[in-house]
């Protein structure tokens, strides 16, 4: 897979995740955030399980089965996934689909900073202005300082750190293991199990409530988790983490679009300006490194 194909795949992932914010919001009328998170990630694990089993057999036949270190890294990624998803889901209860989508993008400027700090990996120069642009765009989309942040907004903002660390390391682990489906299934199981245990201990769960939220759980489990997060693992094997963070931040734009069409959310002029700024940054971080590579080749 070329870098362009990987970036295109990640853009599709952003579209899927943006649409999922609507289901994540409407499901909260029936079930708790941990119940919803646990159910959808366990469904996602079931979707990916056949492909993960095939990879396991392939690796075992070549005596390349994952070792204890691999299992610990998968568990760590699953823990990060649970932290990000759980805090985001709790936040969605107290904010709009549009705000949740855009505030989630605050992980974007964290990724290149963490990559430079932990991995000593200097990103392409375009990442820095693009990250700042995404941050400014998020500020514009959230009301340009004219709207006071709610408790739900703060929960979504807090989810930025685990999302950033997850984006930073998931591609590295997947590339080293050469088993993206196995990694995806493993992290989904960890995330789903932790959330389900928490839900069993702290949230009321009933068959009637689960039935009412079944469509939302199924969509987010099959499409957002099973397809979206797995495609993220595959795409990030072939592009830089900082670039992936910028591209995945376009989920905020798609969240606003679906919030507008399906939830009645409306954007101000400043909001539309923020949307345009984020899109411009996404294009820049994809196109500028490609132009540099072509000039170097020439």
According to the model, what pLDDT value does residue 198 have?
A: 94
Helices of type H across 94-213: 97-104, 110-119, 127-141, 151-158, 160-177, 180-202, 207-212
Q: Determine, yes or no, domain membership for 71.
A: yes
CB 134 within 8 A of CB 283: no
| Overall number of domains in the chain | 1
Helical packing angle, 241-248 and 269-297, nearest 10°: 150
pTM of the model: 0.81
According to the model, what pLDDT value does residue 67 have?
A: 80
CB 254 within 8 A of CB 18: yes
CB 15 within 8 A of CB 254: yes
Q: Determine, yes or no, domain membership for 158.
A: yes
- pLDDT 10s digit of each residue in the chain, 298 long? 787 888 888 989 999 988 888 888 899 989 999 999 999 999 999 999 999 999 888 888 877 777 888 889 999 999 999 999 999 999 888 877 777 777 777 777 777 778 787 777 777 777 788 878 877 887 787 666 565 667 788 898 899 899 889 888 887 787 777 788 888 899 999 999 999 999 999 888 889 999 999 999 999 999 988 898 888 888 887 777 767 777 887 787 788 788 878 777 677 788 788 878 877 877 777 677 767 767 777 7
d(CA 262, CA 239): 33
According to the model, what pLDDT value does residue 18 have?
A: 86
Count of CB atoms situated within 10 Å of the CB of 284: 16
According to the model, what pLDDT value does residue 252 have?
A: 77
Q: Determine, yes or no, domain membership for 50.
A: yes
Name the DSSP letter for residue 107: G
Q: CA–CA distance from 53 to each of 56, 69, 182, 244 (Å)?
A: 5, 19, 7, 27
According to the model, what pLDDT value does residue 79 have?
A: 95
According to the model, what pLDDT value does residue 84 have?
A: 92
Q: Which helix (H) or strand (E) holds 178?
A: none
**231: domain range?**
3-290
Q: Which two tokens stand for residue 199?
A: 């839900």
CB 190 within 8 A of CB 78: yes
Q: Determine, yes or no, domain membership for 295.
A: no
Q: Determine, yes or no, domain membership for 297.
A: no
């Amino acid at each position: 897979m070329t870098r362009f194909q990987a970036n295109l795949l990640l853009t599709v992932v952003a579209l899927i995740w943006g649409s999922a914010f609507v289901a994540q919001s409407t499901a909260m009328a029936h079930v708790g955030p941990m119940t919803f998170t646990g159910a959808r990630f366990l469904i996602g694990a079931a979707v990916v399980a056949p492909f993960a089993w095939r990879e396991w057999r392939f690796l075992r036949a070549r005596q390349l089965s994952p070792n204890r270190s691999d299992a610990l890294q998968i568990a760590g990624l699953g823990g990060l996934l649970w932290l990000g998803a759980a805090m985001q889901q709790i936040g969605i209860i107290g904010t709009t689909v549009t705000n949740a989508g855009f505030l989630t993008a605050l992980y974007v400027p964290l990724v290149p900073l963490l990559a430079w700090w932990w991995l000593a990996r200097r990103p392409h120069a375009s990442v820095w202005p693009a990250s700042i642009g995404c941050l400014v765009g998020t500020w514009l989309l959230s009301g340009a300082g004219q709207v006071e942040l709610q408790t739900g907004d703060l929960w979504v903002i807090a989810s930025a750190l685990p999302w950033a660390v997850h984006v930073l390391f998931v591609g590295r682990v997947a590339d080293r293991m050469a088993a993206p489906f196995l990694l995806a299934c493993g992290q989904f199981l960890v995330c789903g199990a932790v959330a389900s245990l928490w839900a069993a201990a702290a949230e009321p769960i009933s068959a009637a409530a689960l039935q009412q939220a079944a469509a939302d759980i199924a969509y987010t489990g099959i499409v957002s988790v099973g397809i979206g997060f797995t495609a993220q693992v595959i795409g990030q094997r072939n592009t830089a983490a900082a670039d992936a963070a910028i591209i995945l931040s376009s989920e905020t734009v798609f969240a606003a679009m679906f919030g507008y069409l399906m939830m009645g959310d409306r954007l101000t002029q400043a909001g539309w300006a923020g949307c345009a700024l984020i899109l411009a940054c996404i294009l820049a971080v994809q196109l500028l490194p490609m132009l540099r590579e072509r000039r170097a080749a020439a």
